Amino acid sequence: MSLKPLNLVRPTTTLDIENGLSLVPRIKLNLTVYPSGFTVTKPIDEWKIKRSLVDFLKTSLSTPITVPEEDIQIKRLRDLKKRKRDDPVATGTLHIWDLGFLDDRSRKDAEEEGLKDLDKKFLEWRMYLVEKMEGIELNLEGVKFRLSVSVPASDDFEGMKKSWEDFYAFGNRGYPRGRREPDTFTLRGLPSRWFSEPRVSSKPSMLVTHTIFSAFGQIRNLTVAEDDDLREDANEESEGLVSGLYCKIVVQFEKYKDFYDVLRVLCGRSLQKQGSRLKADYEVSWEKDAHFRNSRNQIQEKDNRSEAPRRHSYSSRHSPETVRPRRFKE
């Protein structure tokens, strides 16, 4: 499958990749609801909050947008008696999938120049939306609440870029001398079955995963594992998360440019499988730790403890690990 150069992918364009997968653009915001200076004695009504936000987006923006209620998720705090004074009463997310109003195709600029303009327009409009929604008052039948809004860290590519630039500028202990750029990122919360071999196993496959990501550039190292850490990180709202449902993928590219272009495209998108209505949100972050250098010992220890480890690791043919070991007579 031939992919369009990633540096030319517009922030409002769906990118089709290998294995029937697509990266679908969207704006995602984290929502947090606080009481406005009073003691909450009964659970809030999630539906009323959704209706208030839908009306706000239709009437209070320079470019009114229509968001279906199902694209706003609100989870109220279960036990208000355990809530501390400064704790929220509910959290949630807002997804905006229709971004056509940002993509002005009437301009006849050169494609690369138009991409820079659209990237800037996308980021400016997202920040405008955050500023408009931050601190708004929600009046639910006379009871007032305050809304706090933020962009998920996984969607903030510019923020991640600044963090690694600062890291390499002010200290890169543990890295080879002279290294000044990252090359590894981690993806979490991906549906395992989308990276498995059909009719073979429901577990994520190294072969399938490598096929998908090698289309973006030459891979130096790759690991894929069931993301059981996601269960440990889950809060009380995520009880009952099935083991093996999600996977964690760590990819190290040979070239910084490939790492950079892939990470930019991954930020601000969700993953969708052909034939499925599900759009999976994932977490993506760059690796400042020497993941593959440190994980070899961890994998070996895990191999010694378990006869059937669920983590798979790949190294390119340039890796010292692929050198054929010498044979000795017993």
Q: What tens digit of pLDDT does each residue of 286-303 get?
A: 998 666 665 554 544 555
Specify the pLDDT at position 278.
Answer: 93
| CA–CA separation, 202 and 131 (whole Å) | 43
> Using CA of residue 170, residue 172, residue 173, residue 179, what is the dihedral sign?
negative
| 128 has a pLDDT exceeding 90 | yes
CATH for 25-150, among 3.30.200, 2.60.40, 3.30.457, 3.30.70? 3.30.70
What are the residue boundaries of the structural domains of the chain, listed by start? 25-150, 153-319
Least confident of 39-48, 165-174, 175-184, 266-275: 175-184
Strands 283-286 and 72-76: unpaired
| 92 has a pLDDT exceeding 70 | yes
pLDDT confidence tier of residue 170, bands split at 50, 70 and 90: confident
| 174 has a pLDDT exceeding 60 | no
Token reading at 145: 């609440």
Token reading at 148: 């706090």
For 221-232, how does the pLDDT look when each residue is reduced to its tens digit (9 = 90+)? 999 999 877 645
CATH for 153-319, among 3.40.50.2300, 3.10.20.600, 3.90.1150.10, 3.30.70.330? 3.30.70.330
Other CB atoms within 10 A of residue 79 CB: 8
| Residue listed under structure tokens 């499958």 | 1
Examine domains 25-150 and 153-319 and report if their fold is the same.
yes
Mean pLDDT for 14-39 is 91
pLDDT confidence tier of residue 185, bands split at 50, 70 and 90: very high
Mean pLDDT highest for which of 37-46, 179-188, 255-264? 255-264
Percent of the chain with pLDDT over 90: 55
Alpha helices in the chain, H assignment, sequence order: 46-59, 111-133, 157-170, 206-214, 229-233, 256-266, 291-305
Q: Measured between alpha carbons, how far is residue 294 from residues 7, 161, 175, 306 in Å? A: 31, 23, 12, 19
